[in-house]
């Protein structure tokens, strides 16, 4: 199992450009989430999904879109990048009900100029 994979590892965008951060998991997990990590802020939830076709907003959803057409994939879209979206983005997945650990991907470091 590859676990949770994210591409790209690094990306530089200009203000106003769009892009998609890819996330995939091969553990057949129902639950997937996107977090961003900023200095002094910890990790903040952007969007999450409880299964294919179902998504919802987290703490900081503005400027981001998601969709979940398959169990395996959960892409995060930036429609018009802003410097405030410069951050490290982590995708995570969790299997089953109730409390159990989430598995995180290695992260994508995004810089918006």
Partner 1 sequence: DQQVKQNSPSLSVQEGRISILNCDYTNSMFDYFLWYKKYPAEGPTFLISISSIKDKNEDGRFTVFLNKSAKHLSLHIVPSQPGDSAVYFCAASDNYSGNTGKLIFGQGTTLQVKP
**Of 17 and 37, which CB lies nearer to partner 1 in the complex structure?**
37
* Closer of 32 and 112 to partner 1 (Cβ): 32
Least spacing, CB of residue 16 vs partner 1, in Å: 28
Quote the least distance from Cβ 27 to partner 1, whole Å: 13
Residue 44 found at the interface with partner 1 (CB under 8 A)? yes
How crowded is residue 79: how many other Cβ atoms within 10 Å of its Cβ?
12
Phi, psi of 93 (to 5 degrees): -140, 155
- Calculate Rg over the CA atoms of the chain: 13
φ/ψ (deg, to 5) at 85:
-95, 5
Question: What size, in residues, is the chain?
Answer: 113
Report if residue 97 touches partner 1, rule: CB under 8 A.
Answer: yes
Q: Does 99 bind partner 1 (CB under 8 A)?
A: yes
Supply the DSSP symbol for 15: T
Candidates 22, 27, 52, 58; binder of partner 1 (CB under 8 A) is 58
Q: By CB under 8 A, is residue 25 in contact with partner 1?
A: no
25, 90, 110, 112: residue in contact with partner 1 (rule CB under 8 A): 90
Using DSSP bridges, classify how beta strands 108-112 and 87-94 pair: parallel, antiparallel or unpaired: antiparallel
């Amino acid at each position: 199992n590859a676990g949770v994979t994210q591409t790209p590892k690094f990306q530089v965008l200009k203000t106003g450009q769009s892009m998609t951060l890819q996330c995939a998991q091969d553990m057949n997990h129902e639950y997937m989430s996107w977090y961003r990590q900023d200095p002094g802020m910890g990790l903040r939830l952007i969007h999450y999904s409880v299964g294919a076709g179902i998504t919802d907003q987290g703490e900081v959803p503005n400027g981001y879109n998601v969709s979940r057409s398959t169990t395996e994939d959960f892409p995060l879209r930036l429609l018009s990048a802003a410097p405030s979206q410069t951050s490290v983005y982590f995708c995570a997945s969790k299997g089953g009900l109730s409390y159990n650990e989430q598995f995180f991907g290695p992260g994508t470091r995004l810089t918006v100029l």
